[in-house]
Amino acid sequence: DMRAQLPAGVEPLAPGTLWTAQRRGVAAPPVVRTVLPVLVLCYNRADYLRQTLDRLFATRREPQYHPVYVSQDGVDARVADTVRSYGDRIAGHFQRTERALPRKLDKGPGPQYYHIAAHYRFALSHVLGDSDDDDGGARDRHAAVIVLEEDLEVADDFFEYFQATYPLLQRDATLMAVSAWNDNGKREFVRDADRLYRTHVFPGLGWLLTRALWRELRPKWPAAFWDDWLREDEQRRARDTVRPEISRTHTFGAKGASKGQFYKQHLAPNVLADTFVRFTELDLDYLLVHNYDALMRRVLAAATPVATVQELMQRAGVDRQTFVVRTRTEEQFARQAKAVRLMDDNKWGVPRTGYNGVVLCWWRTTNVLALTLELQPGDAVRRARAARGHRHGD
């Protein structure tokens, strides 16, 4: 009974509601703008790159805070010409020209994923440094960087979103990164442009990391599949990623290294925010770990248990309710998620967008659905250890 777990005097959220972002108080210090460069990684899709850069520059209202770097994997002439066509709007153009792989991988499955991982290491080292000393190997050594690939369109408030959330990385040691992407961001699951969440599963697809996190990751950077590697417990270390309810990026990359995997089913249907939210004027303290945990308890305390999502779909005229469907195994979770078109896979026992085993989304606009999977043992212990002793803000 989640109600019994609420502290005295704390009430559940009203059924069919989630938390609402509040404006910062008059006495609150303003958010200090920070230089957060954008690093765009590309390979051989010149047309995609131009589409990404055009949109990026169209939404960049404060260029002094957001220099744009492009890292090119290889020497494709059309890509290089595309980068040069933007003149001094590009703060730096890096090219990884040494693309040889170990012999045993040359004919192995998915060599492109080894190139991608190597390119990420190359590109991030240029912007955040390739050693632990003060100078590093960076052209312009920044405190943090926003990472994009050449097939992503950004929302109007893309830069505003990252300016507002960057301070959270400095304040909360249980946060690892900020992502612009909601893995379950299909239109039927989202509603409010100003609501943000925490998730145990790193989403990627437009994300912010600090130089300190890069120092931690760089010495053990993987040979391939860097994003799944980052989701592993050993790297995540019980830290979360902030993500929006409505994505601030949208991928148009139907053709790429993954051969369109998941694209039609889960990526293309994700909607891009079309409302400019002034996030720097909102109080985002609800995302700090203890505040957020309390909010989640209040949401679940208002929930009506339902055996399956199929039972939920049979209910007619339901309005303003919060429902919870509890699953005990990964297989049960996958069946229930697939029935409503949520992403049904998980990463090391944690479902996509999951937080403490809970996936939250909107259901028929005015209802909240919580689909739960029991959290893996030991995660709470690792979280507590991280909160006590691990700082990664820089």
pLDDT tens digits, 267-276: 889 999 999 9
**What pLDDT does 141 receive?**
77
Point out the catalytic residue in the list 227, 233, 345, 394.
227
Q: Which residues pair with 179 in a beta bridge?
A: 207
**What pLDDT does 384 receive?**
43
Q: What is the DSSP string of 94-116?
A: EEE------HHHHTSS-HHHHHH
Q: Tell which wins on pLDDT, 56 or 268.
A: 56
**Is 227 a residue of the active site?**
yes
Count of C-beta atoms within a 10 Å radius of residue 167 = 15
- C-alpha 296: how far from chain center: 19
Q: Which residues pair with 350 in a beta bridge?
A: 347
**What pLDDT does 394 receive?**
37
Helix, strand or coil for residue 44? coil
**What pLDDT does 75 receive?**
94
pLDDT digits (tens, 9 = 90+) for 354-382: 999 999 999 888 899 999 987 544 444 45
Separation of alpha carbons 368 and 15, rounded Å:
8
Q: How confident is the model at residue 1 (pLDDT cuts 50, 70, 90)?
A: low
Q: Which residues pair with 145 in a beta bridge?
A: 209
The letter for the amino acid at 210 is T
Span of 98-112, 200-214, 221-235, 311-325 with lowest mean pLDDT: 98-112
Nearest alpha carbon to residue 357 among 332, 339, 338: 332
Span of 110-124, 205-219, 236-250, 379-393 with lowest mean pLDDT: 379-393
* Strand pairing class (358-363; 367-373): antiparallel
- What are the C-alpha distances in Å from 73 to residues 40, 77, 142, 149? 11, 11, 22, 11
- For 98-107, what is the mean pLDDT? 64
Angle between helices 46-59 and 77-84 (to 10 degrees): 20
- What are the C-alpha distances in Å from 390 to residues 165, 337, 385? 19, 34, 8
**What pLDDT does 356 receive?**
92
- For 195-208, what is the mean pLDDT? 97
* Per-residue pLDDT at 389 exceeds 50: no
Burial 276-315 (b: 16+ CB within 10 A, else e): ebebbebebebbebeebeebbbbbbbbbeebeebeebeee
Q: pTM for this structure?
A: 0.90
* Per-residue pLDDT at 19 exceeds 90: yes
**What pLDDT does 222 receive?**
94
Alpha helices in the chain (DSSP H): 46-59, 77-84, 103-106, 111-128, 158-171, 211-217, 226-231, 233-236, 289-301, 309-313, 330-340, 379-389
